[in-house]
Amino acid sequence: MRTFRYILSLLAATLALLAQPAMAQAPETSTKAQPSDPVFPYLLTIQQPAEGATLDVMIMNAAGTYTAVSSGQTVYNGTKVDLFFVPQEGYQLTVGSITYNGNATTAETLAPNDKGYTAQRSFTMPAQPTTVTAEAELIRYTITYDPNGGTLPQGSPTQYTVVSDEFTLPTPTHANTYLSFEGWKDTDGNTVATVAKGSTGDLSLTAQWKESELAEAVGQPTETRIVTTIMTADEILADLAATWPKLTFTTDRGDVIDSPISWKLKDGATLDLTPGKKNPFIWTATPLPDGVKGNGYVMNGTTQVYLEASPITPADNGEITITDENKFQQDDGTDNYFNGEINGEKGKTINKLTLTPPADTDMTIKLNEVTSAATLINGTGKTNLTLSGTNSLGAVTIEPGNELTLTPGENAGDLVNTAVTNNGHFTDLTARVPTVTLPGNITLERVDPAASTPIPSTDGYAELKAGITAPEGTQMNLTYQWETFNAQAGTWSTAPDDSQLRNASNTYRTRTVGQYRCLVTATVTGDGGTTTTTTLTTPPVAVTPYVPPVTPPTPQPATYTVTLPALVGASTTPAAGAHTVTEGDGFSFTLTLDADYDQSVPVVTVNGNALTPDASGKYTIADISANLTVAITGIVRNTTTGIEQVENATLIRAESGALLIRTPVSVTAQVIALTGNVVRTVRLPAGDSRVDGLASGIYIVRLSNEITKKVIIR
């Protein structure tokens, strides 16, 4: 039996060899090996993976290059067969699946290639038909989550393959309710929300959480607190805690957070309730909870508590020296406290007002209707005088190194009888100081621009000019800063740079409507190197919008109607009806009699006045200034005419300046002018009659037997 099977296999190999002579005759693609005899070709079947990969079968020929083998070709036994596995994206070789006739193949070292091979195996062709198989499987990619302090939902996907349907990544939760989930980010910092079908690769994801942000704060203590009675420190602390117990914050997500406030008297401070004496009380709010972003909201501060003091009411012809915002001396040199205001009284004058602010302080004093013969600024800090009502500061002297600013207050009025001598630094924001005397007896004069400037055209600019210039022959440096007013905020801010539009340093050009002012600063350096600065503010200037010239509309002329009547036996041109005519124009029409009515003598009137046609038969109404109605009468059907045709017929004609009438019966005749006036009425006997004495013209002759005829007397 064994011998019989061998003979059959040998016969099959021989027949296969005879069927493929080309393979044996092509040594460059021959699959013949060099092992010991006997050597025969055997059928090689390649069973490709069901999906996801391709198996390439190769045999190295004598030239050292690979020749591809297709399923159904024959290979000599003893030949080394190389198998190359090419997976698709998202697939890999199933371990141990590359076999021949169910036998394991040998692993080969896979050299780098550009064909996508991921595995190379081999076997030696046995002396029998051989089937090569390979299987591919889906790669299961892993998803690793870092919830970053949060909690991942149960059942969150941890694997996927290239053929998985698209899915959305889970949304984690966080115990801190002030944190909101913003999404997942991979190791490259990319935001990942879904995994699309066809995706590949492991994912390592980290949850991103966003803090709530403070959007509003309510309950913040004020910078000052006035008490009206003497209190202990504990009583003040209790009062402050009752007034401002907490800060209440609202987040951008609508959460409300209460932050209790604690109070204490500043370390090292001693309570002193001398009227106007400030006492620093420190407040601190409880820190915000985790997950809330402060956004710069103040969580602590100082409230100055002091016993309310009265404003200064100056004595007439006295002297006042102010050494602090709340401390002053009047005449006798005793320290007194006040609320930072001086209330002047009509008819009372301060002989001398001296302001000596301490170093490194900004002292603000409010003057209400104050009159002072002289004002001296000689402290080492900065003085700001806020002016309300009409004030008079007299001779104002600013000592070297001192600084004075005049600011308009509520209901700021005029600043009269004020002459400033500046040896330090002076700023006038009231635009009320007319002149300033500088070192070297230089006088700087304020020059006000026009109150308003319109934008001249759609593409033009309003040009503003600050007229303050350096006096001729002086060594003075002038700078110009233009500002615009923000009506909503109630503040002035630097106007946009227009340097590319200017034709001079003291001008400003703009197309933006609004209020503008200029701060002109003059800098003078004295012989000793001391610098003096003076800033004068120009009054606000309104830039108004461009108003295009208005071209008055062309008045529409008045129109009227001329109404022509509808007629029987005649027609008008234009036709009957109302016709529109412009005031002052004329209107003409013609009248055409029908054939059966052509012996009629029409009478045409306009609002009762007769209208006469011209030689061409045209009726014209001139200079129309009202609605008019035309009436046309006298149009009757023709009667028998022509004595030649009808015996005893009526005949009416003109001859030699007279009117001849023949009638078979006695009739009454009326001779009517075209104006409608009856010029003659006569009783005619039967037969021929003659009517003389008629002026030349056109007449209508109407007989009592209803015969009418138009005649022309020449």
User: Per-domain residue ranges for the chain?
Assistant: 2-138, 141-213, 219-307, 319-433, 452-544, 559-633, 651-713
Looking at 41-55, 260-274, 300-314, 597-611, which range is the least confident one?
597-611
Given this model, what pLDDT does residue 4 score?
40
* Cis peptide bond prior to 38, omega within 30° of 0: yes
In tens, the pLDDT along 60-81 reads 988 889 999 999 999 999 999 9
Highest average pLDDT, of 133-137, 217-221, 504-508, comes from 133-137
Given this model, what pLDDT does residue 96 score?
93
Given this model, what pLDDT does residue 552 score?
83
Given this model, what pLDDT does residue 471 score?
82
Given this model, what pLDDT does residue 25 score?
31
Given this model, what pLDDT does residue 241 score?
94
User: Which pair of structure tokens corresponds to residue 160?
Assistant: 């996927």
Helix H or strand E segment including 421: strand 403-422
Given this model, what pLDDT does residue 155 score?
93
What's the alpha-carbon Rg for the chain, to the nearest Å? 60
Mean pLDDT across the stretch 575-591? 91
Tokens 């076999």 belong to 99
CATH class of 452-544: mainly beta
Whether the pLDDT of residue 59 is over 50: the answer is yes
Mean pLDDT across the stretch 430-440? 90
Looking at 86-90, 176-180, 278-282, 556-560, which range is the least confident one?
556-560
Taken in order 697, 702, 703, 709, the sign of the CA dihedral is positive
In tens, the pLDDT along 208-236 reads 999 999 888 899 999 999 887 888 999 99
In tens, the pLDDT along 620-654 reads 998 988 999 999 888 888 865 443 443 457 888 88
Residues whose CB falls within 8 Å of the CB of residue 343, separated by 6 or more in sequence, listed in order? 311, 312, 313, 368, 369, 370
Q: How confident is the model at residue 28 (pLDDT cuts 50, 70, 90)?
A: very low
**Cα 323 to Cα 612: distance, rounded to the nearest angstrom:** 107
Q: How confident is the model at residue 697 (pLDDT cuts 50, 70, 90)?
A: confident
Whether the pLDDT of residue 204 is over 90: the answer is yes
Given this model, what pLDDT does residue 644 score?
41
**Percentage of residues of the chain with pLDDT beyond 90:** 48
Given this model, what pLDDT does residue 648 score?
52
Q: How confident is the model at residue 253 (pLDDT cuts 50, 70, 90)?
A: confident
Domains 452-544 and 651-713 equal at CATH topology level: yes
Strand 403-422 relative to strand 425-428: parallel, antiparallel, unpaired? parallel
Whether the pLDDT of residue 338 is over 90: the answer is no
**Cα 154 to Cα 145: distance, rounded to the nearest angstrom:** 12
Q: Could you tell me if residue 395 is left (phi over 0), alpha (psi between -120 and 50 degrees) or otherwise beta?
A: beta
Highest average pLDDT, of 419-423, 500-504, 616-620, comes from 419-423
Q: In terms of Cα–Cα distance, which of 69, 65, 30 is closest to 46?
A: 69
Whether the pLDDT of residue 27 is over 50: the answer is no
CB 398 within 8 A of CB 419: no
**Cα 263 to Cα 301: distance, rounded to the nearest angstrom:** 10
Whether the pLDDT of residue 302 is over 80: the answer is yes
Looking at 107-116, 244-253, 299-308, 668-677, which range is the least confident one?
668-677
pLDDT averaged over every residue in the chain: 86
Whether the pLDDT of residue 598 is over 70: the answer is yes
Looking at 95-99, 371-375, 696-700, which range is the least confident one?
696-700
Given this model, what pLDDT does residue 640 score?
57
**Cα 172 to Cα 53: distance, rounded to the nearest angstrom:** 38
Mean pLDDT across the stretch 411-436? 91
In tens, the pLDDT along 45-57 reads 999 999 999 999 9
CATH class of 651-713: mainly beta
